[in-house]
Structure 1
């Protein structure tokens, strides 16, 4: 099956290219049964109010009941959301998602007394409990993590209030998602063959990669002029989400929303600021790449809509999904047979929802629960970029797979800070394989161009996003308002800084902030850049055949959240508290620019 330029209804797609969620719930009725059971189960835990730390046995009982509730709630919420993502127009799954979200808020309220009571333990009482009850040993890191955040946990009554507003605090993101995925309609344009193509989240980047500049310009203006018509609504949703983050940071006694967000993973704001400073120091390499792009494309003026098209002519790499799967498997061979066997299982067992359909959530992700497969949502188009997206999401899924297989539920997930490492390592290995097995000069240039675009998109672009997030939060923290015009001004100025003097910063790009869902993820995007840097370091160790490199890497994947993310990476051989990984990654970027320039001039 290959791509079709007409976006289909979901029922028109072959089931082999849809994920099979029956491993999570066999049908909606079984979801309803679990929903009722969880309601009943959550009432049991309220009987422990005021008794959580009476003795070690009670503490153990409360922790295990809480985790049982969390586990079932995770299944309920994930199923509802993933079913909605299949087609965001479906009233039935909008309802299920709303009910799951409301239940989550309700249950979080019921559980809110637990943490404050654990924090009431005096002196070395917790150590005594762990010493006298061997079963508590499993939860030592979990308990220590609660104690670490003691200064930011409120009274039981206050925590209950905070939990109850969870449903309300999610409104900005939910409104953005419905507007961006279900309600907004983009125009139809002509592609390079003169066919009508509807601009959508799935078709936009392929259109921007077109060799025909008129197609690129039409797609660019068609998309952003549509966003401009809704700019005040998007500004309102983003401003609301920023205010939510600031509210939570203030009530939890943090100095800023940034500090509050990073503290969840025990990461200092210095890591965030070092990333931005490091990228600023290496902007000359990006500016050189932009200048090279302008020269090779032979343009008097390079525009923002010229950034995605390949600067290598006469290379047509259309890659159907089934061919892309085989390429990914070949690229991941350095990780060994155990890793590869699981990858193959995932590719053949309907872990993946492959193609775009009308109403489907845009983008791509890997998600699931401790009890389910690590599912993948794609909106696959027959492009090289989408092959790398498949490799990327498989990295996430493999990280989840190994974590769940080797850790108890309490540590079965992993920190957001390390979430992009495995995914990007997969991409680096795939790229290395393709470069080494490509003799054709034009194809090699094409791949180098793609690799440079990964750096541009993952290190430079995501750091620009991170700086944008930092600026808008700081503005609101100082009492300023975020109007559409102000957001656009900030965003356009950042584009000027990051891309330099050799490109026209078109007015339309100032609206790009309106279409980025990650701006609603509370300082998430910087981790793409730090994760990319760590991934480059780890993949190089594997490819260079360093002693125990594969074992250490698999150990990283198996660690889950059993230790702090900085420590987990250190054990794998990468120290993210230093500037070295970021600087090395950007040095590699500069070297790749030089290599491409040399090949072009040969």
Structure 2
């Protein structure tokens, strides 16, 4: 087994250029001292924010402090990610983290002090031209004002915060540290301990006995802990209802959506519209059964490969060319920014000893974005390149078009640009694929993305909605009640044509996202919005591209739902989800035709 190269052995042109952020350690140290000084000065504004001139200066100082803190934090952590074992950058990242905490503490008086002002005063600020750069910030504060309590009550709620984290912390400890899974046999007949990481690998095995054994071992283990996990999840739901009640929201769901100002209809439309298209998912299940040559399709067959592995050897240079060709519909300007990213030190390409795993796009306002990859010469890595460059170019556009405060886009929007790139790349690959085996491989890859990102996440979102509504009506969330709801949803989604194994009723017990409540729907809405954008771009050309680039430039300058609407994707209606489902249908038609 060949050893990973040391960092120094990776060619310079295949490493990101962090010197664009800080040319050397001395410049980082100088900025650190400057930032420390700014932290000391922000307190001068405390108790003076009823005056518009002082408020403006306070906001300016807050922005300057936040920008410097972000730059220091991003650089220190990205240097650490080059080699996680490097003690120098471990210490630097820790120093930056402590500075960030100190900065947050120093500015924590600003929002409560503004919110203590009258509604009339806030409206005056919003219409004051001197404060025009901060209009959206002030509008947001005015919108949140009815849900902010008195200073004393807020102090009590802040102290409750640690208790409120308990359900998630307990679940994480139980799930990751205390729970032990049985020994099962791998494909070579060797005894191997089942773990979270190995579970999906086992489910992707071509050997059906291995899939079945892993599936049964996983859920029998959870079943033994069902009372504890049900109590933990129920406590998390109770916590959400407590906060919704105290902060005067109609429901826990509406409280959760309020942070992004998302109408409840976005959530309910997603579920209702996906229900209409469940026959398509069930058709895909039938096709899966046929392609796998099975008499019965079981739950443990859903992650197994559908077609023979088609070896797609894609070196990095080829991946860049293919991604560039796939994204050509986005126009010349987008293409030139993409090329700039490829050529000018944005991307850290290959794995080296100690390098952080995975992939991400990150950066600080005022410098170009960065992308960390661990590129392997395969299809997945090529899609990762397209995905992360989608994030990077979104940040590039928003940073160049918006002031610092309005540049950061919300999590609701974050996956749209990256997934639009993936959709365009997939369209290009399917159109240019000549080999039927390659085409089948690509179609199953994409159909499974739809299944796991849209259908499965919507089913999770529906489960969360049901259990919160039941608790809000005073019903107990017993282990059996949770299992019955979850099993019923699996039957509803997958249909009666496949065997919905009884063991699946325990899957709710192993989903960590249920402790970050009402989050998973964003995967499905983001994927649907991206699919809608890609469809419009491919069908309409320049008018759709112009709207889309407008979306990328908007950052966080307006509410997420408005930003998407202006660009031609109205998530308050079912249309984008319908468009995504029509594409799913088209892909399914193509695969059925190839399967014969």
Q: TM-score, normalised by structure 1?
A: 0.81
Q: Report SS of the residue matched to 2:587.
A: helix
Q: Could you say what secondary structure the match of 1:419 adopts?
A: helix
Aligned mate of 2:150, from 152, 155, 161: 155
Q: Does 1:474 align with 2:469?
A: yes
Q: Structure 2: how far apart are the matches of 1:27 and 1:187?
A: 51
Q: Corresponding residue for 1:140?
A: 135
**Partner in structure 2 of residue 48 of structure 1:** 45
Asked whether the equivalents of residues 78 and 369 of structure 1 are also in contact (C-alpha less than 8 Å), the reply is: yes
Match of 1:330 in 2: 325
The structural deviation recorded for 1:239 is 5.4
- The structure-2 alpha-carbon separation of the partners of 1:273 and 1:506, relative to structure 1 and needing over 3 Å to count, comes to same
Residue equivalent to 1:574: 569
Q: Does 1:59 align with 2:93?
A: no
Alignment of 1:5-404 (within 5 A): 41-54=38-51, 56-75=52-71, 108=104, 110-122=106-118, 125-126=121-122, 128-129=124-125, 133-134=129-130, 136-163=131-158, 169=164, 205=200, 208-214=203-209, 216-217=211-212, 220=215, 242-313=237-308, 315-317=310-312, 319=314, 323-347=318-342, 349=345, 351-352=347-348, 365-370=360-365, 374-376=369-371, 384-404=379-399
Q: Give the CA deviation at 1:426.
A: 0.8
Q: Tell me the CA shift for residue 259 of structure 1.
A: 0.8
Which residue of the partner structure matches residue 450 of structure 2?
Answer: 455
CA distance in 2, matches of 1:360, 1:93: 13
The alpha-carbon deviation at position 289 of structure 1 amounts to: 0.9
Q: Which residue of 1 aligns with 2:554?
A: 559
CA contact (8 A) 2:4 2:351 kept: no
SS in 2 for 1:494: helix
Shift of 1:42: 3.8
- 8 Å CA contact retained: 1:355, 1:380: yes
Shift of 1:387: 3.4
1:298 Cα deviation after fit:
0.8
Structure 1 pair 413–371 and aligned structure 2 pair: CA distance change class (3 A) = same
- Equivalent residue in structure 2 for 1:534, among 524, 529, 537: 529
Using a 3 Å threshold, how does the CA distance of structure 1 residues 557 and 333 change in structure 2: closer, same or farther? same
Task: Summarize deviations over 1:439-477 as a string: whole Å, max 9, x none.
Answer: 222222222222221211221111112122223433454
Unaligned runs of 5+ in 1: none
Structure 2 unmatched runs, 5+: none
2:514 is aligned to 519
Q: Please point out which of 416, 419, 435 is paired with 1:421.
A: 416
Q: Deviations over 1:475-523 (max 9, x none)?
A: 4545566676665554343322211223333455455445545434442
Contact kept, 8 Å, 1:556 with 1:569, in 2: the verdict is yes
Is the 1:77–1:100 contact (alpha carbons within 8 Å) kept by the matching residues of 2?
yes
Q: Which moved more, 1:366-375 or 1:545-554?
A: 366-375
**1:547, distance to aligned residue in structure 2 (A):** 4.1
Residue aligned with 2:41, SS: helix
Normalising by the residue count of structure 2, what TM-score does the alignment of the two structures yield? 0.82
Is the partner of 1:420 in helix, strand or coil?
A: helix
2:586 is the counterpart of 1:591: yes
Q: Aligned residue for 1:444?
A: 439
Provide the alpha-carbon RMSD of the alignment: 4.5
Q: Which has the larger radius of gyration?
A: 2
CA contact (8 A) 1:112 1:159 kept: no
User: Do 1:113 and 1:159's aligned partners in 2 also have CA atoms closer than 8 Å?
Assistant: no
| Shift in CA distance, 67/378, structure 1 to aligned 2, threshold 3 Å | same
| SS in structure 2 of the partner of residue 563 of structure 1 | coil
Bigger drift between 230-239 and 566-575 goes to: 230-239
Q: For this pair of structures, how many residues does the alignment match?
A: 593
Higher mean C-alpha deviation, range 123-132 or range 336-345: 123-132
| Structure 1 residues 87 and 314, CA gap change in structure 2 (3 angstroms) | closer
